[in-house]
Amino acid sequence: MALPLAVTMGEPAGIGGEITLKAWLARSSSVPPFYVIDDPDRLSNLARGFALEVPIRPIAAPAEALAVFAEALPVAPLLRRPRAHLGRPDPEDAPAVIEAIDTAVRDVREGRAAALVTNPIHKENLTRAGFRHLGHTGYLAELAGASESAVMMLVSPALKVVPVTVHLPLRRAIEALSTKAIVHAGTTAERALREDFAVAKPVLALAGLNPHAGEEGTLGEEERERIAPAIAHLREKGIDARGPFSADTMFHPEARALYDLALCMYHDQALIPFKTLDFYNGVNVTLGLPFLRSSPDHGTALPIAAKGVARPDSLIAALRLAERLAANRLARA
């Protein structure tokens, strides 16, 4: 790959620094070159505290990361130094967290990095500091000037899922579920499967909202009034969309073999089977942006942040997937 991957600091009180150090230590096992936008002294202190032999090398430009990566972890220094202690977020760190995201997005959009890989952020802490987005996805869409909502896809070797509604209370998620939203999520996901994942003819399986997919209206009308019309619209667009299926029968091995992606109606309907099947290797990918973004599918893990036991599997999977998707885009260009 001609360009390195840009990795953000994430919440400094969480496990982002630890798993970044451990991902660099795994570089001999096909981890692609990356640099992290963070505070070099913070990472040096973390490495010493966790007894990890990771030399830290500040860089002035992303291009330097390729030459540095084999011998040291390349770090693009932040202007603001984080203050939080592990496990204890500090609202004063919100500008530094956002600075890391902004810098990484600029690097990717201006051709200095191949893709963006984000460490987990602490949404509550950012919200207290005035951050008005529910997470990375909405903020990245704003930075990109996207005219339509970005879509979250979760990817693992066992399953790909897209939730139509994401970080909403369940009552509001049901209210927000619309034919238009389902069509948008399905169209965006199908295009990403073709263009980024190189799936020639993607098959989408749509879950019902209610038990047993509503049982023809006996257990709810949403399937007939919102989901079935969305499937019809998707098919009119030439997309192989099937369902709605009862969600409790969609995720066993024989069922998963029949589709490329499960389109689910709300957050937990997608995330529970996904994390049950492969908790450690899941990757969050944002669709509908003019640049590639992946992330571990877990959070900041504050309760274990100071214990040195965090596993880097999901971050490593996010790095490898970002490299693969960037290569697919380059080959298609």
Domain end marker among 277, 298, 322:
277
Q: Provide DSSP, 258-278.
A: T-SEEEESSHHHHHHHHHHH-
pLDDT in tens, 170-229: 999 999 999 999 999 999 999 999 999 999 999 999 999 999 988 888 888 999 999 999
Number of domains in the chain: 2
| Spatial distance between the Cα atoms of 215 and 163, rounded to a whole number of angstroms | 22
Same domain (yes/no): 135, 180? no
Same domain (yes/no): 146, 5? yes
Residue 108: what pLDDT?
A: 96
Same domain (yes/no): 190, 302? no
Domain end marker among 277, 296, 323:
277
pLDDT in tens, 26-56: 998 889 999 999 999 999 999 999 999 999 9
Same domain (yes/no): 292, 198? no
| CATH code at position 273 | 3.40.718.10
| Spatial distance between the Cα atoms of 327 and 333, rounded to a whole number of angstroms | 10
What's the rounded mean pLDDT across residues 266-275? 96
Sheet with 73-77, edge to edge strand ranges: 56-58, 73-77, 34-38, 5-8, 116-117, 293-296, 283-287, 151-155, 160-163, 261-264, 203-207, 240-245
| Spatial distance between the Cα atoms of 333 and 329, rounded to a whole number of angstroms | 6
User: Do 46 and 6 contact (CB within 8 A), yes or no?
Assistant: no
Whether the pLDDT of residue 1 is over 70: the answer is: no
Residue 147: what pLDDT?
A: 67
What's the rounded mean pLDDT across residues 98-119? 96
Same domain (yes/no): 184, 227? yes
Same domain (yes/no): 273, 169? yes
Same domain (yes/no): 170, 92? no
User: Do 271 and 128 contact (CB within 8 A), yes or no?
Assistant: no
Same domain (yes/no): 203, 273? yes
pLDDT in tens, 114-164: 999 999 998 777 777 667 766 677 788 888 887 678 899 999 999 999 999
Whole-structure pTM value:
0.92
Same domain (yes/no): 213, 270? yes
* 196 SS3 class: coil
Same domain (yes/no): 171, 260? yes
Whether the pLDDT of residue 24 is over 70: the answer is: yes
Same domain (yes/no): 115, 23? yes
What's the rounded mean pLDDT across residues 242-246? 98
Residue 23: what pLDDT?
A: 98
Which helix H or strand E contains 122, and what residues bound it? none
Q: Whole domain around residue 303: which residue ranges?
A: 1-150+286-333
Same domain (yes/no): 31, 127? yes
